[in-house]
Protein backbone atom coordinates (compact mmCIF):
# COMPACT_ATOMS: atom_id res chain seq x y z
CA UNK A 1 0.00 0.00 0.00
CA UNK A 2 1.45 3.36 -0.93
CA UNK A 3 1.76 6.18 1.59
CA UNK A 4 -0.97 8.15 -0.20
CA UNK A 5 -3.47 5.35 0.53
CA UNK A 6 -2.79 5.14 4.26
CA UNK A 7 -5.48 6.60 6.48
CA UNK A 8 -4.30 8.06 9.77
CA UNK A 9 -7.53 7.68 11.67
CA UNK A 10 -5.98 8.72 15.00
CA UNK A 11 -6.11 12.41 14.09
CA UNK A 12 -9.90 12.17 13.69
CA UNK A 13 -10.65 9.87 16.62
CA UNK A 14 -8.08 10.68 19.32
CA UNK A 15 -10.37 13.27 20.91
CA UNK A 16 -13.49 11.07 20.95
CA UNK A 17 -14.43 9.55 24.31
CA UNK A 18 -17.34 7.56 25.69
CA UNK A 19 -18.39 9.75 28.62
CA UNK A 20 -20.23 6.81 30.19
CA UNK A 21 -16.88 5.22 31.08
CA UNK A 22 -15.93 8.14 33.33
CA UNK A 23 -19.44 8.27 34.83
CA UNK A 24 -19.21 4.57 35.74
CA UNK A 25 -15.73 5.01 37.24
CA UNK A 26 -16.94 7.88 39.42
CA UNK A 27 -20.05 6.07 40.59
CA UNK A 28 -18.15 2.83 41.19
CA UNK A 29 -15.78 4.74 43.48
CA UNK A 30 -18.78 6.11 45.40
CA UNK A 31 -20.35 2.66 45.72
CA UNK A 32 -17.08 1.15 46.97
CA UNK A 33 -16.79 3.88 49.62
CA UNK A 34 -20.44 3.41 50.64
CA UNK A 35 -20.05 -0.39 50.94
CA UNK A 36 -16.56 -1.19 52.23
CA UNK A 37 -17.69 -4.46 53.83
CA UNK A 38 -18.54 -6.11 50.50
CA UNK A 39 -15.09 -7.62 50.28
CA UNK A 40 -13.92 -5.73 47.24
CA UNK A 41 -10.70 -7.73 47.21
CA UNK A 42 -12.84 -10.68 46.11
CA UNK A 43 -15.10 -8.88 43.65
CA UNK A 44 -13.36 -8.21 40.36
CA UNK A 45 -13.83 -4.48 39.93
CA UNK A 46 -12.77 -4.75 36.29
CA UNK A 47 -15.52 -7.28 35.63
CA UNK A 48 -18.10 -5.09 37.38
CA UNK A 49 -16.95 -2.06 35.37
CA UNK A 50 -17.06 -3.96 32.07
CA UNK A 51 -20.49 -5.43 32.81
CA UNK A 52 -21.93 -2.03 33.73
CA UNK A 53 -20.41 -0.44 30.64
CA UNK A 54 -21.97 -3.07 28.40
CA UNK A 55 -25.41 -2.50 29.95
CA UNK A 56 -25.48 1.20 29.09
CA UNK A 57 -25.56 2.99 25.75
CA UNK A 58 -22.35 4.77 24.78
CA UNK A 59 -22.41 8.55 24.75
CA UNK A 60 -19.59 9.88 22.63
CA UNK A 61 -18.27 13.41 22.81
CA UNK A 62 -15.09 15.30 22.20
CA UNK A 63 -12.62 14.93 25.07
CA UNK A 64 -13.05 17.77 27.56
CA UNK A 65 -16.52 18.75 26.32
CA UNK A 66 -19.79 17.96 28.03
CA UNK A 67 -21.89 15.57 25.92
CA UNK A 68 -25.31 16.63 24.69
CA UNK A 69 -26.97 13.86 26.69
CA UNK A 70 -26.15 12.34 30.08
CA UNK A 71 -27.39 9.22 31.81
CA UNK A 72 -28.92 9.61 35.24
CA UNK A 73 -26.98 8.58 38.34
CA UNK A 74 -29.74 6.03 38.96
CA UNK A 75 -29.16 4.39 35.56
CA UNK A 76 -25.42 4.22 36.22
CA UNK A 77 -25.83 2.90 39.78
CA UNK A 78 -28.32 0.27 38.60
CA UNK A 79 -25.84 -0.95 35.97
CA UNK A 80 -23.02 -1.10 38.54
CA UNK A 81 -25.18 -2.99 41.05
CA UNK A 82 -26.26 -5.40 38.29
CA UNK A 83 -22.57 -5.95 37.56
CA UNK A 84 -21.83 -6.63 41.22
CA UNK A 85 -24.69 -9.12 41.40
CA UNK A 86 -23.52 -10.84 38.21
CA UNK A 87 -19.89 -11.10 39.38
CA UNK A 88 -20.93 -12.32 42.84
CA UNK A 89 -23.06 -15.00 41.18
CA UNK A 90 -20.24 -16.06 38.85
CA UNK A 91 -17.06 -15.69 40.92
CA UNK A 92 -14.51 -16.70 38.29
CA UNK A 93 -11.95 -14.19 39.52
CA UNK A 94 -12.35 -14.50 43.29
CA UNK A 95 -9.14 -14.40 45.30
CA UNK A 96 -8.76 -17.57 47.35
Give me the residue spans of the domains in the chain: 15-89
Report, as an integer, the average pLDDT of 53-79. Answer: 94
Q: How far apart are CA 53 and CA 23, in angstroms?
A: 10
Report, as an integer, the average pLDDT of 30-54. Answer: 89
Q: Is the model's pTM score more than 0.85?
A: no
Which of the residue ranges 5-19, 24-38, 55-69 would you say has the lowest mean pLDDT?
Answer: 5-19
Q: How far apart are CA 4 and CA 65, in angstroms?
A: 33
Is residue 15 pLDDT above 70, yes or no? yes
CA angle 52, 24, 80 (to 5 degrees): 40
Amino acid sequence: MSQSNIVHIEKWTSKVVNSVEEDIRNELKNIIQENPAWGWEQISIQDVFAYALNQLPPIYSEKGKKPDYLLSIEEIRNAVFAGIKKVEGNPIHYVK
